[in-house]
Structure 1
Amino acid sequence: MAETLATYEVPEHHVKMYTANVQAALNKEGGILTPLVSSNAYTGEKSQVVNFIGEVEFVERSTPYGDTKVTELEHTQVWISGREYDCAVFIDRLDTLKMIYDPTNPYVERFREAAARKMDEIIMSKFFADRKVGKDGTSTSAFGSANTVVHGNTGLTVAKLRSLRKLIKKRHVKVRTVRPKIAVTAEDVDNLLGEVAVTSADYAAIKPLVDGEVSSFMGFDFIPYEDNGGTSGDGKSIPSFQDSGSVVRQLPVWVPDGMHFGQWDGLTIKISDRADKNHIKQIHGTFTAGATRLEEGKVFQVQSKNAA
């Protein structure tokens, strides 16, 4: 009797090899945002306190035998909550199923892309969302308007970048040792290129962004992040709102230790028989992850308005 998709049993070690290949590919080439934020691995409860303390300071001793001066640490407890995400697909070719363990199998790359994209969306959706704080995580902390450069009825401009850089310095972010990141769309890059085109040096600095490459300008690393469908706030695109009939994008600006991404127990993959679908084989992947704003003085927003 000829072997078919329905009769073929996938060896367990092939499933483990496939899982390892997807995880290795994800580690080698993750998402756009995941390498640019702090991260940690979690176990147990789906809500955890992020290991974080505020800055400390040395003080001058005024008398030889005076009382010890204790520096008050920032005791705000920041919580991260993990949610489960699934991806299930059917395999309709026996030869592909038999070679599922091969690192070059197309299902490896497709699952890597899906996982990386979803992890980016998780981070993007949390830049300006309320964060959970307090002893038990029941209190919330909203994103502060004081860390926002408003749109002023214009797109992304050099003047806004100057205002943003000044604001970041006022928050004591160490820009000499860490370069702030800013997520932008092609529209924002075009606005900036149109403004600086008269200056050849500036134009050359921003030009790589036209091709979707990461580029630096005025002390910022520009991170291309295009609309991937969905609605504002779900992370598939940069958050936005409507103003007088035009879209205003809320471009996130951050330093890596200002945002945090967490994963619970890594990626789990199963390959099983679907009796309800004529015994076709199914790949089912799942992971649990979450993100949160960690330090309010290290995440900012610059607004960019589309031309009417």
Structure 2
Amino acid sequence: MAAIKSIPEYYVTEYETNWSHKAQQKISLLKDQVILDNIDGKEKSYNKIGTVEFQRVTERAGATRVSDLSLEKRWLRPFPFDDTKVFDEWDEKFLGEISLPSSQLMEAQAAAYARLADSIILQAAVGDAYTGENGTSVVSLPSTQTVAVNYVESGTAANSGLTIGKLRRAKYILDDNDVDDMEPRTVAYCAKQLQDLLRSVEIGSKDYNAVQALVDGQVNKFLGFTFKRVSSKVLPVSGGVRQVVFWAKNGLRLSDSGKQTRMDILPTQSHALQVRSVGVLGATRDEEARVGIIYCDETV
């Protein structure tokens, strides 16, 4: 018996009624690794006091010797950020059984705000800081706080990704600056750096198991650093060379007002639905001695 030939013309296409998110970094991974603040004004200055040294007394009842005290102001200036999307008044009706993605949009905006906070922290780490009475004097991160892209502990210098040797050098930089061992230390890196790190370690070496545990996600600490893998869209890169940032917690400050989201009907735009998220963010490098960069070649 022959089947009715026209029936397939009426087969129904089913559509998903909800929305799912594409792969993305959804939470801030670095806010807990820096000093947090919430500035109410347009800017805030932080007072820094330098080290002092004792002098040997070499004469009896001699004149009192007075030495100067090194003082510094470090400035943080936050800026407003927003993201706004608008749905037409008929979108919900014309989508039929498919839900209007307003709640999913708010989730996406929350994820974007989290990534923005991480990006601002890292930009402050590698960029210029501001000091002086009015916050107009520029302070750059000195080259002594960086690990060169071609750094090797011994042998001929050659460009490389992230290596054990580069991490040891980063640890040395903080140690040599007398950064307290009890102050939390962090390395922000991307997936490529962890791949390079495992590749650079010989199987069976004393470092292999520790690095393998990092790769497998079993631990997140190595050489005294907490490792934080962030989106490649967040960590600075130029010409194929990634700036892997390391720091001690008191070396970076973040001001975060917190994200606010509003849903409004706009009567002057045909009653369209507006979803707008806003926040005020800013960061500064609080002290160069606590922050550094490991340059990693991603093309090798």
TM-score, length-normalised on structure 2? 0.74
Question: In 1, are the aligned partners of 2:161 and 2:298 still within 8 Å (CA)?
Answer: yes
Larger radius of gyration: 2
Following superposition, the deviation at residue 291 of structure 1 comes to 0.5
d(CA) in 2 for partners of 1:185 and 1:127? Answer: 16
Separation in structure 2 between the aligned mates of residue 267 and residue 280 of structure 1, nearest angstrom? 23
Distance 1:160 1:191 in 2: 12
Which of 65, 80, 84 is equivalent to 1:84?
80
Deviations 1:234-281 (A, max 9, x none): xx3x22222xxxx111111101100110134x4333321123543122
User: 1 CA distance for matches of 2:63 and 2:255?
Assistant: 41
Q: How does 1:43-192 map to 2 (within 5 A)?
A: 43-44=40-41, 46-49=42-45, 51-57=46-52, 59=54, 62=57, 72-90=68-86, 93=92, 106=104, 109-152=107-150, 153-175=159-181, 177-192=182-197
Is residue 245 of structure 2 the alignment partner of residue 248 of structure 1? no
1:193 aligns with 2:204: no
Equivalent positions of 1:6-17 (< 5 A) are none
Q: Structure 2 residue aligned with 1:203, among 200, 208, 215?
A: 208
**How many pairs does the alignment contain?**
259
DSSP-derived class of the 1:223 partner? strand
* Deviation string, structure 1 residues 10-42 (Cα, Å, up to 9, x no partner): xxxxxxxxxxxxxxxxxxx95111111111111
- The residue aligned with 1:260 is 253
Quote the Cα distance in structure 1 between the aligned partners of 2:290 and 2:277.
34
In 1, the alpha carbon distance for the partners of 2:184 and 2:209 equals: 19
- Distance in 1, Cα, partners of 2:140 & 2:169: 22
Deviation by residue 1:192-244 (Cα, 9 ceiling, x = unmatched): 1112241365333223443567611222221101212xxxxxxx3x22222xx
Opposite residue 164 of structure 2, the aligned amino acid is V
C-alpha contact (below 8 Å) 2:147/2:294 kept by paired residues: yes
The RMSD of aligned alpha carbons is: 3.2
Deviation, 1:138, is 1.4
Residues 171-202 of structure 1: per-residue CA shift (max 9 Å, x gap)? 11112x12421111111111111122413653
2: distance between equivalents of 1:197 and 1:32? 30
Structure 2 equivalent of residue 269 of structure 1: 261
The CA deviation at 1:139 is 1.4
In structure 2, the residue matched to 1:22 is: none
Aligned ranges 1:276-295 → 2 under 5 Å: 276-295=268-287
When residues 159 and 67 of structure 1 are mapped into structure 2, their CA distance, relative to the original with a 3 A threshold, is same
Q: Taking structure 1 as reference, are residues 159 and 89 closer, same or farther at Cα in structure 2, changes over 3 Å only?
A: same
Question: Mind listing any 5+ residue stretches in structure 1 that lack a counterpart?
Answer: 1-28, 229-235
Q: Which residue of 1 aligns with 2:155?
A: none
Please report the TM-score for the alignment, with normalisation by the length of structure 1.
0.73
Gaps of at least 5 residues in structure 2 are 1-25, 151-158
Q: Which residue of 2 aligns with 1:304?
A: 296
